[in-house]
Chains A and B, each alone.
Chain A
Amino acid sequence: MSKKSTASAEKKPAPEAKPADFAQAPINARLSRDEKIELHRKMVRIRRFEERSLRAYQAKKIGGFLHLYIGQEAVAVGCCSLMGKHDHVITAYRDHGHAIAVGMDTKPLMAELYGKATGCSKGKGGSMHYFAPDKNFWGGHGIVGGQIPLGTGLAYALKYKGLKGAAMAFMGDGAVNQGAVHEAYNLASLWNLPVVFVIENNGYSMGTSQARSSAGQLAQRAAGYDMEWGQCNGHDVYEVRATMDHFLAKARDQQRPSTVEIDTYRYRGHSVADPDNTYRSKQEIEEYRKTKDPIQVFQNKLVAEGVLDEALIEKIDAEARAEADAAADFSEISPYPTPADIQTDVYWESDNPAERKSQGRLFFE
């Protein structure tokens, strides 16, 4: 991959001496059999959801952009599996994986893609704008890097309210060059905010490789803000969990922010509209798929551990496919929002007229 060709892409040693096998890291060693199966199941569910949404997109059921998470599943699943009651997540527009990882139901997720009233944002947000505040998931944001100050604000609110928790603010490798990200880094470190900035480095900011877009190693920039940083492989869910556990604990217990770069890969284009043949080769994709596919890697480990067998693998996969189909069927028969719905959910006050305190016109013709 092109990002490996950068001179500065050598790995910094992890903050703790890495155990030879991340499965033995305490956060993983204490996983029950069912919890391990659940990690695997979530990754499979994300992949089947994404594949099903791609088919719906190709069938012109879905408008706009569709940024698929296929190939990156272990990142969202690994990180979000560590969430406690007061931990929060925010991400950018490649948000389907995080939404499923935090526990959102796939029916309203798919219906949102279809633009239906039963969608998780009532058909008003679309693919890039999933939200579930009841699951501590704050989006789903369309502008590269724009969500990072918001994630820092979630951490600020936790600290202000005296709650022990952490915010995980996800971004892609393309976001690290945005000013808002650096402003957020500075504030988080200056004010000791409990936030972990997670760079999901899939090697390409749209069609521009890391080598052509970013000077130096991405996570290392955090050092300039006096922040601890780390890097790990994103194809091994055990490694993701072991690495993130360290930084989340630092945020929750010591109120110190950090930046973690997780190396991953997307099999599909930046969005489905991306022809994906101008900036990388088919061989590159195939190579990753063969050697580092996060689902296959974890599946192999769980088979070796005696947690999974062929029958269970088949069953989980069949259920995930059926769930994705059911989500598509649900979306298909769901109604669209009506033109009258265009002007709801704009203002709290107009949605709560009995409690409205202001007067005058909120909307104009």
Chain B
Amino acid sequence: MPLITYREAVRHALAEELERDANVVVMGEEVAQFNGAYKVTEGLLAKFGPQRIVDTPISEAGFIGMGIGASMLGVRPVMELMFWSFYSVAFDQILNNAANVRYMSGGQINCPIVIRGPANGGTNVGATHSHTPENVLANHPGVKVVVPSTAYDAKGLLKSSIRDNDPVFFLENTMLYGEKGEVPEGEYTIPLGLADVKREGKDLTIVTYGRSVHHSLAAAAILESEHKISAEVVDLRTIRPLDFDTVAKSVAKTHRVLIVEEQKPFASVGSQLAFMIQRECFDDLDGPIHRLATVDAPAIYSPPVEVEQLPNPQRVLKAALAAMA
């Protein structure tokens, strides 16, 4: 299989869906002439033209709201947020309008929009640009939330997201854009709401998603080689809908759980997972559920210290050993 970057995988998904469905429009700041702030959309303008690949002003509430309105009439906009951190200025559009319009209309209106862009820390851009809002988004019934960790997953999940009739919020990661992975050349999709066991193990379940999957895999390798601990790494891939069955199956096998997430701890995705695991897997657990999250403060700028604020292989390793103690 060809090795391509996560960035290219997202781009291929966009190109294929633009090709497949004339209602798909890619829209956002710098997506067309500039070829994308992170070059995800590079070349799409040349291929599909300015009707399909649309540069917007820096006006998130305006253009995201416009995309939501257009989606009600059958356009399928894929809106790029240069950073998901900017969702806060479009919060009303995203979480009042997109999330609620189907419900408030008694099911008469669909909102088939995708909003995508990076949501991560680790790039030394300070607190305003480092938000990871998957927990906030997923708190709103009516929306779907996807956080892919690999090139293969990003492509297959984005294609499913664009074909989905509900609003889908797709959270990428600037630290992963350059990461290569095997991606088949042919057409494929990955259903939303299907987790993936990225590494099998028998002693400890690490439930994670996004970039933390890679940190968890690195830690799992050390656990195996240096501590003779066999860790299973479950990549959720989608936060909502949530594949809890895969989590429960793993817990039933390992009896110990560590949740790893690039989230502030309070009311995070991991908080929800911990509740569900204790509620539904209580008899399987040999110890308390552990969690490794982002250190609870606004994102620090200082480059070497930000590494320590976020999950990293050493922090995961330490947390895993604590979970096994």
Contacts and interface: CB of A to CB of B under 8 A. Distances in A.
Interface residues of A, number: 57
B180 interface: no
Given A149-B61, A153-B69, A344 B107 contact: yes
A98 B191 CA distance: 41
B63 interface: yes
A158 B66 CA distance: 12
A351 interface: yes
Interface stretch (B4-12, B234-242, B283-291, B294-302): B234-242
Interface stretch (A1-9, A131-139, A306-314): A131-139
Given A125-B106, A153-B70, A359 B193 contact: yes
A125 to B, nearest CB: 4
A157 interface: yes
B274 interface: no
Interface stretch (A31-39, A179-187, A324-332): A179-187
A207 interface: no
B128 interface: no
Contact of A349 (B56, B75, B97, B165): B165
B307 interface: no
Interface in B186-234: 191-195
A149 B62 contact: yes
B105 A133 contact: yes
A183 B59 CA distance: 6
A157 B67 CA distance: 9
A151 B93 contact: no
Contacts of A157: 69-70, 72-75
B256 to A, nearest CB: 23
Given A129-B105, A131-B109, A351-B107, A361 B242 contact: yes
A210 B196 CA distance: 57
A361 B72 contact: no
Given A149-B68, A180-B61, A184-B62, A141 B97 contact: yes
Given A146-B96, A345-B102, A358 B107 contact: no
Interface in B52-82: 56-57, 59, 61-75
Given A358-B193, A361-B193, A348 B51 contact: no
A347 B108 contact: no
B103 interface: yes
B97 A357 contact: no
B108 A133 contact: yes
Given A119-B106, A361-B244, A183 B194 contact: no
B179 interface: no
Given A358-B144, A360-B192, A348 B63 contact: no
B61 A122 contact: no
Given A187-B57, A360-B192, A153 B242 contact: no
Q: Bin the interface of chain B by size.
A: 35 or more
A347 B163 CA distance: 14
B166 A347 contact: yes
B101 interface: yes
Contacts of B75: 153, 156-157, 160-161
Interface string A114-140: 000001111111000101111000111
A360 B238 contact: yes
B33 interface: no
B110 interface: yes
B243 interface: yes
A183 B107 CA distance: 28
Contacts of B72: 133, 138, 150, 153-154, 157
B272 interface: yes
Contacts of B56: 187
Contact of B103 (A150, A346, A362): A346
A167 to B, nearest CB: 8
Interface string A164-199: 000000000000000110011011001000000000
Given A180-B93, A186-B57, A121 B105 contact: yes
B25 interface: yes
B66 A187 contact: yes
Nearest to B138: A364
Contact of A347 (B97, B142, B243): B142
Contacts of A190: 57
Interface in A314-364: 344-349, 351-352, 357-364
A160 B101 contact: no
Interface in B145-199: 160, 163-166, 191-195
B104 interface: yes
Given A149-B65, A149-B66, A156-B66, A346 B193 contact: no
Given A132-B108, A133-B105, A345-B106, 16 more contacts: A121-B105, A124-B103, A125-B104, A131-B101, A133-B72, A143-B96, A148-B65, A150-B69, A151-B69, A153-B71, A180-B93, A184-B65, A351-B107, A358-B194, A359-B193, A364-B276
Closest 4 CB pairs of A and B: A153-B69, A149-B65, A183-B62, A360-B193
